[in-house]
Each structure stands twice: as C-alpha cells, then as structure tokens.
Amino acid sequence: MSSTMLGKYSFWVGLVLAIIIALVPDLDPAFTWAMIVLGLIGGYLRVSEKSESHFFLMTLSLAVFSGSLAELPTIGAFVSDILDGATTFLGAAVVAVAFRNILGWFR
C-alpha cells in the first residue's frame, strides 16, 4: 500500500472512530488512542504542503467553535461530541504536520 493511500485511509478511519466514540462514550480509551495514532499518520502522510495553512485554519476553527453547537435542541450534545472527537483527531494531524515541517528544517 502506498503512503498516499495509507494517509487517506488513516483519515477516513480516524473520522469514523470520532463518530463511534461520540455514539458510545464508555468505550475503552484504546479507541481514543487509536484515533490519535491515525491522526498522526494521516497528518504526516496526507496533508500536503500546499494545503497546510488551510488545514491549520480549519482545525483551529473547529476547535474554537465545536462546542457552540451544544445548545441545539435534541441533537446539540451529540453533534458537539462528534466535533470534539474530530478536533482531537485533527489536532493530532496538526502535530504531525508541524513535526514534518520541523524535520524539513534540518534537511
């Protein structure tokens, strides 16, 4: 499997895990760790240099505003939980992209 495909699948599986963790909040913490590891892999392999700044801005916006939907009647808490999980996943991806850039400085 190529690194591009591995990065792509890491992103999809990580986002699906974010939804599953929101649906079943009492899951083993290993699922959260798996989501974080997938975020690291996906961020390192999938986010291109061209899209880094957009990716950083999107992740920052999601982190800031994910809790604002909690006030929606009936589904607010559920949507907020999904976005919190996605923020955790994407935050790990941001760390991986930053790490990749730091490594690039030493090349």
Q: Give the per-residue pLDDT at 54.
A: 94
Q: Give the per-residue pLDDT at 95.
A: 96
Q: Give the per-residue pLDDT at 9.
A: 94
Q: Give the per-residue pLDDT at 40.
A: 96
Q: Give the per-residue pLDDT at 89.
A: 94
Q: What is the pLDDT along the chain (107 residues), one digit of tens a residue?
A: 788 899 899 999 999 999 999 889 788 999 999 999 999 999 999 998 899 999 999 999 998 888 888 888 888 888 888 999 999 999 999 999 999 999 989 88
Nearest to 44 by CA among 63, 36, 106: 36
Pairwise CA distance, residues 46 & 55, whole Å: 11
What secondary structure letter does DSSP report for 72?
S
Produce one character per residue of 56-76: b if its CB has 16 or more CB atoms within 10 Å, e if not: beebeeebeebeebeeeeeee
Beta carbons within 8 Å of 16's beta carbon, 6+ residues apart: none
Domain-by-domain residue ranges, the chain?
A: 3-105
Scanning the chain, the segments in alpha helix (DSSP H) are 3-23, 29-46, 52-65, 76-105
